[in-house]
A and B are shown apart, each in its own frame.
Chain A
């Protein structure tokens, strides 16, 4: 029930005699349109040439697969992102790492960009911040296959956007981004320590046979 005090009765505007002939009101209207026609700035964004400024700086666009400072893929093929992904659009084939500092690396890393819902869960899940969502949104393809981004394509996205740290999410791991050599070395030390603490031989047991998708 609405009380009477809350009701505002709006009366029709009282028209003067000239207003009732319409002409003055038409002149008013024409004044407004002429003002817009000649003097108001145009708001259209000429899209391919210019782009609108994003209103949020944590906009979730196309993924990138980060490189570490040694230009290798930062991913350790832990399958966290693939497990976290609610749309099941990430497919990783892990292989034994050719490098000393980690056990596995992704031999194949595919994201189906058409299936992805851009929720950012993969980014949250990644323990080494290897997968990140950039602010790029204008990717196109002429077929569905073309829109399945493989490892090379995702690394390529990183190469094009590496100067931008796109998202300002709270950090879950202590790791502060792949481009930072100091932080990278700290992490590397920590990983090496972890590997040392394990019994030798155990680290060798995770080979390619464990990489069932």
Chain B
């Protein structure tokens, strides 16, 4: 009956359709939960009025109909293309932004292997040799939509946003790449599926145990790559109206918005795969694999469990993204640059050097060596900070010391 599905190409096509539909729903509800969480953090209630056409009387399902109403609103609003914009680019930019975000997750291994009839399928749209490089490349393309949108808008605020986004992306790609390189060196793999298999209980520990600092650096750079607070300088409302999307309205704006959230989901899945064992559940690789999440489990139920495990991990990171957004104020631009160039890049390079040494000596799986080197790096950083007597981000630099009161 399902023999037509027993072909990886067909299976991947079906899977990608399912993923796109699922991803769009997820994004809509991410926006809902972002509004809810921001409201709760500010002691408010959040959206709680839109139910389902009032079919259930006065019960509004905690506003769960809100994403549908928001979507309908976006489609029905007037789509303004201002007079002096670069029209082709103006239309193209949001599409690029969203497409790039959407094609990012084709290489994410969602649930290991699946035995369909007598054929083994990868629950993954594509499994190229260079999956990790692919996701890095596609992730960097995300800024292209922002830059084109800002440029084409013919608006100085959009332009500022685009320029900021470019500089920010360029700066944060470096520590991101180096932090990922540590994982690549340690696991010797560029295939994401293989990186997950290397972390399955019994095979090895989760990479977060071996490289906590690299994990932290990747997490910080992901905030910057997805343009989320405290790195949302590209759309700083207080300074730049709306930043790169000032001139956008209706569905074009929604596409930028969707792109940002899809980017968040992809980024979270990426960091889970690299550092948290992907679909695997064995508690940091210390315990045995959770029943149904081993490599040899290829039944439908185990695939569902694996997808569920990855979904929970991704949900945790999305929650973290939202929590941080409503906790931290935005960086000033010079602080942003200093954090990348003076903070993250030296630290990640230091870890890289030590990891290379470990790989040369054959210690890449040694907890003692890896944790020791991470601790050494943190200690060195702290030492530099204390000796220089300056914060890493230069937060308190260039502040005049007031000895005489002004006008006194």
Contacts and interface: CB of A to CB of B under 8 A. Distances in A.
A191 interface: no
A2, A36, A46, most chain B CB atoms within 10 A: A36
A212 interface: no
Contact of B385 (A2, A4, A21, A41): A21
Interface string A8-24: 01001001011111110
Interface stretch (B38-46, B112-120, B135-143, B269-277): B38-46
Given A7-B408, A17-B385, A36 B41 contact: yes
B87 interface: no
B393 A36 contact: no
A20 B392 contact: yes
B405 A22 contact: no
Contacts of B399: 12
Interface in A90-132: none
B43 A36 contact: yes
Contacts of A38: 40
A44 B43 CA distance: 7
Nearest to B216: A23
Contacts of B37: 37
B381 A30 contact: no
Given A21-B392, A36-B42, A37-B40, A30 B327 contact: yes
B332 interface: no
B76 interface: no
Main secondary structure of the interface of B (DSSP, over half): loop
A46 B62 CA distance: 13
B327 A15 contact: no
Nearest to A34: B323
A32 B327 CA distance: 8
B92 interface: no
B41 A2 contact: no
A33 B326 CA distance: 8
Interface string A41-54: 11110100000000
A12 B396 contact: yes
Contacts of B45: 42, 44, 46
A37 B322 CA distance: 12
Given A20-B390, A20-B392, A21-B382, A40 B327 contact: no
Contacts of B40: 36-38, 42
Given A29-B328, A42-B43, A46-B45, A2 B323 contact: no
22 contacts: A2-B408, A4-B405, A17-B382, A17-B385, A17-B386, A18-B382, A19-B391, A20-B390, A21-B381, A21-B382, A22-B392, A22-B393, A26-B327, A29-B328, A30-B323, A33-B323, A33-B327, A37-B40, A38-B40, A41-B43, A43-B43, A46-B45
